[in-house]
Homo-oligomer: A and B are copies of this chain.
Amino acid sequence: MSSGNHLYTTYKTISQKAADIYYASAVLGWDQETYMPPKGAEARGRQLATLASQAHELLTSDSYGKLLADLSKMEGLDDTEKNNVRLSAEDYERNKKLSPEFVEELSKQTSECFNAWIAARKQNDYSVFAPSLAKMIALKRKQADLYGFKAHPYDALLDEYEKGATVAMLDPLFEGIKQQLPILLNKIKAVQQVSNDCFHRNYPKQQQWDFSIDVLKRMGFDFEAGRQDYSEHPFTTSFAPDDVRITTRVSEDNFASMLWSCIHEGGHGLYEQGLPAEHYGLPLGAAASLGIHESQSRFWENCIGRGMGFWKYFYPQLQQYFPKQLADIKAEDIFKASNRVEPSLIRTEADELTYHFHVMIRYEIEKALIEGSLDPAGIPAKWSELYKHYLGIKPTDDKTGALQDVHWSHGSFGYFPTYTLGSFYAAQFFHQVQKDIMGLQQQIENGEFSAMLNWLREKVHRHGRRYTSEELCAQITGKKLDPEEFFEYARQKYKVVYGIDA
């Protein structure tokens, strides 16, 4: 495969050293959210800032830039090498726009802001978070300016998570959601609600945990190359394809909380485990985009986990863990409960349909914050107003309002839209895989996921960043992202769940 080029080897060495530092930061970040004692926060913040600046220094050095420039012009690299160089050169141009001081400041502010978010949640008081968040937003606006943009400053930030995503592309997407989803939502509201009582019984923590491990193993998550832990806010991180960490949370009176976070993060985790290890630290060894990452988690969570086939297989096992709690429940009840649609306040526990309003609200707030038309102090009021408008309900306190997500504390502005993109890609991929794999539904009902996982590995995972989300989507499904695929998926699903004529 390798052209044995000396310059390429040097490029690879530097890139992988930077990746080592980046992955080391990921270990520190994982520990920060799983095991770190509270007083450890301050030192952790400075350690993460130093690592960020060390990696940034390597990746923005003039010698690295020259190497990439030389390699970009060079003949004789093979296809894989060319793609790595092309993508690294793009990253270099982007990274160069941020000074080392800015990178360090941003990293420090991220730790400070995350700790403020933790404290604010503990006290259920947005004002504890507000000053730190305002500083973060100022930094992100500055970052957008440093990156530069054509149409909208938010585009500059979006690009970091989803190359090519812009306000001009997302506005119509959310417009479509505003048009289509209320139609379905109103039809659902008009019929008898399905019950989700079965989730709200007493489910002891340890048995929930054991069931989650069973599910993850069945999905194909390799516990020799990863683990699951607890954290306040479930997430997936990776230190190499052979060391992927997912987290979950457990609520003893809401089984659904652990269930969906486990399958969701499991989907992310499978993607990370499926990235080609031979490209460790290089673009072809990294995920295509956050939207594609989310397509993997949503695929497993929504298309598979919330499907009747999944429960045909898993329900008997669940009953063994909870014979008393589930004595009066059938697999179909779990399936319906899994797909109950109901406007709610918490994004991560929302149903598949209203979920997109949660995302849209955040998208609108972020856009306004970054363009400067909304003052950070006005977030809670705006939040309430938008929830009232789109979902007909208002937060009862800060924890069910603007304090619910970790993202802003991480400085992740432009991240939320990838959730909707991911769900839409997932629906489109799911439609395709059913055409590509004969008898898939039967396999799912038998708990056989390996053919499907291989399909995901083959179509998505193994390519790393070689293709953009759009290219990948076109390659897999023969067309670009088509929101109608999601709408149709939803109509079909709710027809079964609610018996509506969708």
Each complex incorporates copies of this chain amounting to 2
Contact A21 B226 (CB under 8 A): no
Could you give, for residues 269-284 of chain A, a 1 whenever the CB lies within 8 Å of some chain B CB and a 0 otherwise?
Answer: 0000000000010000
The listed residue with most B CB atoms (<10 A of its CB), out of A31, A47, A226, is A47
Please provide the 10 A-B residue pairs with the shortest distance between their CB atoms, ordered closest to farther: A40-B243, A43-B240, A20-B50, A39-B242, A39-B225, A20-B47, A39-B224, A17-B50, A24-B47, A38-B224
Report B-chain residues with C-beta under 8 Å of the C-beta of A222. 39
Does A23 interact with chain B (Cβ within 8 Å)? yes
Complex-state Cα separation, A38 to B226, whole angstroms: 8
**A21 and B37 contact, Cβ closer than 8 Å, known pairs A43-B240, A43-B242:** no
Complex-state Cα separation, A17 to B107, whole angstroms: 14
Report B-chain residues with C-beta under 8 Å of the C-beta of A17. 50
Report B-chain residues with C-beta under 8 Å of the C-beta of A50. 17, 20-21, 24
Does A402 interact with chain B (Cβ within 8 Å)? no
Contact A36 B229 (CB under 8 A): no
A-B contacts, 19 of them at CB < 8 A, read A16-B46, A20-B49, A21-B54, A24-B24, A24-B28, A27-B28, A27-B47, A35-B227, A35-B229, A36-B243, A37-B225, A37-B243, A39-B222, A40-B242, A42-B240, A43-B239, A44-B240, A44-B243, A54-B54
Does A51 interact with chain B (Cβ within 8 Å)? yes
Report B-chain residues with C-beta under 8 Å of the C-beta of A27. 24, 27-28, 31, 47
Report B-chain residues with C-beta under 8 Å of the C-beta of A21. 47, 50-51, 54
Instruction: Determine how close the nearest CB of chain B comes to the CB of A498; give it in whole angstroms.
Output: 42
Does A223 interact with chain B (Cβ within 8 Å)? yes
Name the CB-closest residue of B to A30: B31
Complex-state Cα separation, A8 to B224, whole angstroms: 47
Contact A239 B44 (CB under 8 A): yes
Contact B37 A223 (CB under 8 A): yes
Q: Which residues of A contact B (CB under 8 A)?
A: 16-17, 20-21, 23-25, 27-28, 30-31, 35-40, 42-44, 46-47, 49-51, 54, 222-227, 229, 239-240, 242-243, 280
Contact A43 B229 (CB under 8 A): no
Complex-state Cα separation, A50 to B40, whole angstroms: 24
Name the CB-closest residue of B to A42: B242
Say what secondary structure dominates the interface of chain A: helix
**A280 and B43 contact, Cβ closer than 8 Å, known pairs A27-B31, A35-B229, A37-B224:** yes
Name the CB-closest residue of B to A240: B43
Report B-chain residues with C-beta under 8 Å of the C-beta of A43. 23, 239-240, 242-243, 280
Report B-chain residues with C-beta under 8 Å of the C-beta of A44. 239-240, 243
**A40 and B225 contact, Cβ closer than 8 Å, known pairs A20-B51, A24-B51:** yes
Report B-chain residues with C-beta under 8 Å of the C-beta of A40. 225, 239-240, 242-243
Contact A226 B37 (CB under 8 A): yes
Q: Could you list 6 further interchain pairs (A-B, Cβ under 8 angstroms) beyond the known A20-B51, A27-B47, A39-B242?
A: A24-B51, A30-B31, A35-B227, A39-B222, A40-B239, A40-B243
Report B-chain residues with C-beta under 8 Å of the C-beta of A239. 40, 43-44, 47
The listed residue with most B CB atoms (<10 A of its CB), out of A24, A28, A51, is A24
Complex-state Cα separation, A218 to B371, whole angstroms: 54
The listed residue with most B CB atoms (<10 A of its CB), out of A27, A30, A239, is A27
Complex-state Cα separation, A225 to B40, whole angstroms: 6
Complex-state Cα separation, A2 to B38, whole angstroms: 29
Instruction: Determine how close the nearest CB of chain B comes to the CB of A103; give it in whole angstroms.
Output: 14
Complex-state Cα separation, A424 to B499, whole angstroms: 80
Report B-chain residues with C-beta under 8 Å of the C-beta of A37. 223-227, 242-243
Complex-state Cα separation, A238 to B240, whole angstroms: 24
The listed residue with most B CB atoms (<10 A of its CB), out of A25, A31, A223, A229, is A31
Contact B38 A20 (CB under 8 A): no
Complex-state Cα separation, A36 to B239, whole angstroms: 10
Instruction: Determine how close the nearest CB of chain B comes to the CB of A19; give it in whole angstroms.
Output: 9
Instruction: Determine how close the nearest CB of chain B comes to the CB of A489; give it in whole angstroms.
Output: 35
Instruction: Determine how close the nearest CB of chain B comes to the CB of A34; give it in whole angstroms.
Output: 9
Complex-state Cα separation, A244 to B229, whole angstroms: 20
Report B-chain residues with C-beta under 8 Å of the C-beta of A47. 20-21, 23-24, 27, 239
Complex-state Cα separation, A222 to B37, whole angstroms: 10
Complex-state Cα separation, A327 to B222, whole angstroms: 46
Instruction: Determine how close the nearest CB of chain B comes to the CB of A129; give it in whole angstroms.
Output: 21
Complex-state Cα separation, A186 to B24, whole angstroms: 53
Report B-chain residues with C-beta under 8 Å of the C-beta of A24. 24-25, 27-28, 47, 50-51
